[in-house]
């Protein structure tokens, strides 16, 4: 069977073909075309469209297309379940879902940058997901430093330090600094790097991640950043003539379909509907 989706894949549009080939259809063939041609070419080639809005194989609520394929085809493999969380976190910019998600995004983005031919990129990506599957099947619980005699001692010392740290009830000074960093990055397309920010604030990344929600509207780091993105998008929709594709790019979203999903989740309307309502006022 033929499957068709948008060109220039990164996460879901590489992960889904791997999943389909391994568990659904070993003879599957995949076609990449410009976004606006997907549905037309799907009819022409008798292919199943995936990972675009308004088709069966797509995102649902906070789940990505990879999740839907697992559900649709009843794939009951523990390793695939592990990979699904990583893919979901990487594909939707919610790296807090799985600690490996940020790494998958970095590697996938790097591959897409280095390989401009989508079919060569898919071929290379298949090796990546084969490796991820082997890790999830055989090495998931193994730690790189698990045999290091100092690791547990360091962990115990750090845990005790956090436990003994007195809470004065005052807002820490780093909160104000972090808000300024986030505000600065809003106009630089949200190039957020939690590790780099932690270094700038002279804080441990784990501590910053754990304490963040206490001072930022009960939202974790990813949720707060997405909220800021949508607020900027709303401002641009209401006060500029930029296209929605341009606004998606300017607010740091990887593509317009991702922007549409997140915008609708926050506002209850997709961006085009929201713009029409604004113009009628």
* pLDDT digits 0-9 by tens, 37-47: 999 999 999 99
pLDDT value of position 266: 87
Of the ranges 46-55, 191-200, 207-216, which one carries the lowest mean pLDDT score?
Answer: 191-200
Domain tally, the chain: 2
DSSP, collapsed to helix, strand or coil, labels residue 2 as strand
Range of the domain at 35: 2-139
Mean confidence (pLDDT) of the chain: 83
Residue 216 located in a structural domain: yes
Last residue of a domain, one of 122, 139, 156: 139
Say if residue 181 is in the same domain as residue 135.
no
Strand order in the sheet with 47-49: 29-33, 2-6, 47-49
Say if residue 120 is in the same domain as residue 197.
no
Mean pLDDT of the region 107-121? 95
pLDDT, one tens digit per residue, over 116-148 is: 999 999 999 999 999 999 999 988 876 655 544
Q: Look up residue 255 and give its DSSP letter.
A: S
User: In Å, what is the CA distance from 216 to each residue of 51, 180, 181, 212?
Assistant: 32, 13, 13, 6
Say if residue 116 is in the same domain as residue 207.
no
**Class of residue 93 by CB neighbours under 10 A (exposed 0-12, middle 13-18, buried 19+):** buried
Residue 157 located in a structural domain: no
**Class of residue 186 by CB neighbours under 10 A (exposed 0-12, middle 13-18, buried 19+):** middle
Is the pLDDT at 70 greater than 70? The verdict is yes
Place of tokens 């341009």: 246
């Amino acid at each position: 069977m033929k499957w068709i989706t948008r060109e220039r894949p990164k996460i879901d549009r590489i992960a889904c073909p791997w999943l389909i080939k391994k568990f659904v259809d070993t003879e599957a063939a995949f076609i990449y075309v410009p976004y606006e041609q997907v549905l037309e070419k799907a009819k022409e080639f008798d292919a199943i469209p995936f990972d675009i809005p308004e088709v069966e194989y797509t995102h649902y609520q906070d789940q990505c297309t990879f999740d839907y394929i697992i559900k649709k085809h009843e794939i009951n493999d523990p390793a695939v379940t592990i990979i699904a969380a990583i893919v979901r976190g990487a594909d939707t910019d919610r790296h807090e879902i799985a600690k490996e998600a940020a790494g998958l995004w970095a590697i996938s983005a790097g591959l897409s940058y280095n390989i401009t031919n989508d079919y060569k990129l898919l071929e290379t990506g298949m090796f990546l997901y084969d490796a991820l599957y082997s890790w999830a099947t055989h090495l998931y619980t193994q730690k790189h430093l698990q045999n290091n005699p100092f690791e547990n001692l360091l962990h115990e010392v750090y845990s005790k330090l956090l436990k003994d740290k007195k809470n004065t009830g005052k807002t820490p000074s780093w909160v104000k600094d972090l808000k300024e960093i986030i505000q600065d990055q809003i106009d630089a397309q949200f190039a957020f790097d939690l590790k780099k920010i932690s270094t700038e604030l002279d804080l441990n990344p784990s501590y910053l991640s754990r304490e963040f929600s206490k001072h930022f509207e009960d939202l974790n780091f990813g949720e707060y950043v997405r909220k800021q993105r949508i607020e900027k998008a709303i401002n641009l929709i209401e006060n500029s003539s930029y296209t929605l594709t341009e606004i998606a790019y300017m607010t740091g979203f990887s593509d317009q379909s991702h922007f549409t999903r997140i915008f609708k989740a926050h506002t209850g309307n997709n961006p085009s509907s929201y713009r029409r309502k604004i113009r009628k006022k």
